[in-house]
Structure 1
Amino acid sequence: MLHITNGDMAAELLGQCGLDGQVLPWREMWIDGPARIQWDSMKAIEERAVYFEQALGIPRETFERICSDQLGRLTAAADAEEPIVLWFENDLFDQTMLASLLNWFHRRKTAGAPVGRLEWIVLSAQPGQDFRGLGELSPERLKTLWPLRKAVGDDDAAFGAEAWQCFASIEPQLLEKWLVKRVPSETARILVRAMCFHLRRFPSIRNGLGAVERETLSLLCQGPARPDELFRRIGEAYPIYGLGDLSYWSYLKRMESAGMLVIQGDQPLPSFKSVGPPDFDMWLVIMAAYGTRVLAGQADLLRDGRYAERWLGGVRIDGGATKAWRCAGGDREGGGASMIFM
């Protein structure tokens, strides 16, 4: 049996539960970088390796090795028809990983390759706890979730596979159409909520800001703030995102390059290669005049040609682009999203 979960901390805790089988921490972050339908191809892996080396400072060789190792373990388990249990959370970070894996299993099964029994445990809030992740639960609490696992039905796998195909497409309207399809199970419905938020990461029709950029500027309206304070507040505003610190520092850097804010400090923000816990007193983030104008709808990030290059699933928005796919929808979880190219 192989247990697949969303990171090293959760994997370590699962290993302490006394459950049969091995634990594989799945190391990916599809909320950043280019997404391809056949994400397991060497071409797709190399493309992402180049992106993460440039964007987050993750060495290309390290990224490629991690992808190769985990894909090898996954393939070996499937070839042996081992039971595979997917342990994931309800946020976009985890749900994109889950969708990519369901797509992999679905493609494999369609091609006639062996696949063992698939089960899943998808978590959201836990009773009496401010739940932020599987890694925050005790091994004892994790073990009590084991009887709650459910089989991944063929409809679930096909639904998740289609979600991935839409997420990795160059046309976000496909995902918009997928969102209104019949949902095969309550567990699959969690994927729908996460993918709905993905569309709200796109530039809005009002000012070119996505949900996180808009919330960041709104927070800076209250005064300058340390990067870690902003990161914490963004996590509280959008728990559905599952945004990591390195990804958020990339947001801040893009916003600074667009002239919306200023990051005061003698050193660059932390990166993958940073050693030891950072002293966030070193930095202060301040709203710039242009950011105030954009937030008020008096300027438009895209029309002004200030949008920094960005990948949103399979969609690439070029730096300096004046037209792109935009979202005409709600800012918060539960709001609808309509995609328009303008």
Structure 2
Amino acid sequence: MLHIVNGDLVERKLRQGGLEGDILVWRELLTEGPAVAAPEYERLVQLRANRLERELGIPAELFARHGREQKDRLDRFTAYEELVLWFEHDLFDQTILWFLLHYFAECDKGGTKLSVMSIGEFPGVPGFEGFGMLSAEQLASLFGCWKEIGGAALDLGRRVWAAYAGGEPDAIVALLKEELLWTELPFAQDALAFHLSRFPDTGRGLGAVEATTLETLETYGPLPMQDLFVRVGKRHPLYGMGDVQYWGYLRRLCGSGKAEALIAWEGSDMGRLPGYETDPHMMKRPVSLTAAGRQVLRGECDAVRLLGYDRWLGGIHLRAEAGGDVPWRYDPSRRTLVRT
């Protein structure tokens, strides 16, 4: 049996709980960087490696090597009688699940049985965030409780991935409106809907995480990076956001050192903003809201027009120079995307 999980911590606890079989830790963050609906994997890995090195500081060579190694192991899955996917309810895990379901829908599965273990809560664990917060004994209680993946779930996973990683936002909006059998993937609909809230909004040009960051700083004043990350993450449990991802948000809000930056670090070197290998001392430095950040929060100016925009959201690459605009924005009142 082969188990595919997200995170070394989960692998370690599963082993401590007595899980039998092989484990493949899938190291990806498909919520960040470019995604491609029907990828030639080698091209996708290199495209993502180059972009994530630039945005998050993840070494491109390291990222590409891990990507190829895990794909080589995945391609040999038919050597197993059963394969179990362990992925949670949040967008981070769901995007990986959709990608893998798309992969299995398109290939010959031989005689391998496909199953999934996907939960959004656990008895006696308030504020459940993921498998990693469970003990080895709690994880062991889930052994054998996974659900077989049938043709309907494979087809839904393929469709959701195609919409998420495609280049047309209309496809996501249309899919969310369809009367699909979402129970086949019970967390996909909410995760995909949350994905839309990451687009710049119609009022201030802020996505959900950017808006929460500025609001948190306005409420509590300057906060150390790590504290800010924890507070913002708790406001968006559907994201499953890690610290390296969040440092990317902070870099963008800094505006690459422009005078119009929406946040500032106390005593920071603008050339050494946080990334993949962040200095622990930097994480203790207070982050504060700037005058421009307060103006954006009040709706007096727009973050996209102020700073410009260059970000991949799934398969959609939104770009705008300062003073310009992106073609799609999120309307919070209708919880959907609109053309600008």
Compute the TM-score of the two structures, normalised by the length of structure 1: 0.91
Count of aligned pairs:
330
Q: In 2 relative to 1, CA 269–197 (structure 1 residues): closer, same or farther, beyond 3 Å?
A: same
1-structure distance, mates of 2:90, 2:316:
20
2-structure distance, mates of 1:211, 1:266:
25
Deviation, 1:187, is 5.1
Match of 2:316 in 1: 315
Amino acid at match of 1:324: P
Match of 1:147 in 2: 144
Deviation, 1:310, is 0.8
Give SS of 1:221's match. helix
1:168 aligns with 2:197: no
Q: In 2 relative to 1, CA 74–278 (structure 1 residues): closer, same or farther, beyond 3 Å?
A: farther
Is the Cα–Cα contact under 8 Å of residues 166 and 178 in structure 1 kept in the other structure? yes
- Measured against aligned partners, the alpha-carbon deviations of 1:122-146 in whole angstroms (never above 9, x if no partner) come to 0212222142221121121111112
Deviation, 1:161, is 0.9
Moved more, 18-27 or 235-244: 18-27
Percent identical residues: 36
Match of 1:273 in 2: 277
Following superposition of structure 1 onto structure 2, how do residues 243-322 of structure 1 map, counting pairs within 5 Å? 243-257=241-255, 259-267=261-269, 268-274=272-278, 277-278=280-281, 280-281=283-284, 283-302=285-304, 304-320=305-321, 321-322=324-325
Q: In 2 relative to 1, CA 297–279 (structure 1 residues): closer, same or farther, beyond 3 Å?
A: closer
Structure 1 unaligned regions, length at least 5: 331-335
Match of 2:238 in 1: 240
Deviation, 1:119, is 0.5
Deviation, 1:255, is 0.5
Give SS of 2:178's match. coil
Is the Cα–Cα contact under 8 Å of residues 2 and 80 in structure 2 kept in the other structure? no
225, 228, 231: which one aligns with 1:227: 225
Match of 1:327 in 2: 330
Is the Cα–Cα contact under 8 Å of residues 305 and 322 in structure 1 kept in the other structure? no
Across the aligned residues of Structure 1 and Structure 2, the Cα RMSD in angstroms comes to 1.8
Give SS of 2:302's match. coil
2-structure distance, mates of 1:279, 1:297:
30
Q: In 2 relative to 1, CA 89–290 (structure 1 residues): closer, same or farther, beyond 3 Å?
A: same
Is the Cα–Cα contact under 8 Å of residues 108 and 115 in structure 1 kept in the other structure? no
Match of 1:103 in 2: 102
Deviation, 1:81, is 5.2
- Measured against aligned partners, the alpha-carbon deviations of 1:118-172 in whole angstroms (never above 9, x if no partner) come to 1001021222214222112112111111232111111111101110110011111
Give SS of 1:339's match. strand
1-structure distance, mates of 2:80, 2:9:
27
Amino acid at match of 2:300: Q
Moved more, 156-165 or 177-186: 177-186
Deviation, 1:278, is 4.2
165, 182, 190: which one aligns with 1:193: 190
Deviation, 1:319, is 4.6
Moved more, 11-20 or 181-190: 181-190
1-structure distance, mates of 2:131, 2:236:
17
156, 161, 170: which one aligns with 1:159: 156
